[in-house]
Amino acid sequence: MHLSPETPIGRPSFELAEDEIATVIHLLCRGAAEARTLVTAGMLEVPITILVRKAMLRLKRRLGLTNIEIGGELELLDVNDTAALVQGRIDIALRFLHQFGDEEAYLGVECKRVSPGDASLNARYVTQGVDRFATGQYGAGHPLGMMLGYVLKLPPGTLAGDIDARIRKSYGEAAKLTDMDAHADALSMHTGTLPQEKEGHLIRLIHAFVDMSPAGAATATP
């Protein structure tokens, strides 16, 4: 079957409009802010993310959004590999109405704890988060992915600069982070583009750093 000039290049179900991206950012950042009041000191990434996802679902209900699906940890499968292997598990996956029916179409969000001065956590943000988008383990062929950084200690100081330096060291200067207008519930937001899996394919990552410092536990609801 030959492609006509009018046939879209790539997978249309992977594409998201700017208003859809803005909706995802709002759900993530507002959801994180609401979840923070329930976070306790020493809480790990998985329970924090469950709280964030529940808050996002409540917010979605309040806003009356019926064109988006918020999923929990999504198993990513390589259908061409006959082995019983899971390629990866991404923390949050969102699908809009036009993506339903295509299991490979989603906006993937990977969540990682970070903290100013914590070399171990900040390194894992890159090696166990950003790198999985760069290799195509997450978001293979997608134009966009997201990282949600749970900042455990304030002020964030040079945290974003540290993450940026690690990304540039791993993927080159072209992958550097660029500041973007931050959501009201984010400490800062940045965007950068990485080469992914196949030569010539690029994926843009949006990085949102949100306050998850233990001080939020002081207002926790019993």
> What is the full per-residue pLDDT of the chain (222 aa) written as tens digits?
334 344 345 577 888 899 999 999 999 999 999 999 999 999 999 999 999 999 999 999 999 999 999 987 655 445 455 444 446 678 999 999 888 777 777 899 999 999 999 999 999 999 999 999 998 888 888 999 999 999 999 999 999 999 999 999 999 998 999 999 999 999 999 999 999 876 678 999 999 999 999 754 433 332
CA dihedral 5, 6, 11, 12 (to 10 degrees): 160
With respect to residue 62, please indicate whether it lies within any of the assigned structural domains. Answer: yes
Amino acid 88: pLDDT: 64
In residues, how long is the chain? 222
List the beta bridge partners of residue 128. none
User: Where does the chain show beta strands of DSSP type E?
Assistant: 68-71, 74-76, 88-90, 92-96, 107-114, 144-151, 178-180, 188-195, 202-211
Using alpha carbons only, give the angle 79, 127, 22 rounded to the nearest 5 degrees. Answer: 75
With respect to residue 7, please indicate whether it lies within any of the assigned structural domains. Answer: no
Amino acid 24: pLDDT: 96
With respect to residue 43, please indicate whether it lies within any of the assigned structural domains. Answer: yes
Amino acid 67: pLDDT: 92
Amino acid 101: pLDDT: 73
With respect to residue 5, please indicate whether it lies within any of the assigned structural domains. Answer: no
Count CB atoms within 10 A of the CB of residue 38: 18
Write the CA distances from 150 to 32, 88, 186, integer angstroms: 9, 21, 10
Q: Which residues of 67-81 are buried (b: 16+ CB within 10 A; e: fewer)?
A: ebebeeebebeeeee
With respect to residue 4, please indicate whether it lies within any of the assigned structural domains. Answer: no
Amino acid 2: pLDDT: 39
With respect to residue 6, please indicate whether it lies within any of the assigned structural domains. Answer: no
Are 150 and 48 in contact by the 8 Å Cβ rule? The answer is yes
With respect to residue 201, please indicate whether it lies within any of the assigned structural domains. Answer: yes
Amino acid 99: pLDDT: 81
Number of domains in the chain: 1
Name the residue range of residue 89's domain.
12-219
With respect to residue 25, please indicate whether it lies within any of the assigned structural domains. Answer: yes
Distance CA 61, CA 55 (A): 10
List the beta bridge partners of residue 150. 113, 210
Write the CA distances from 52 to 39, 58, 111, 148, integer angstroms: 10, 10, 10, 11
pTM of structure:
0.86
Structure tokens that stand for 83 in this block: 């082995």
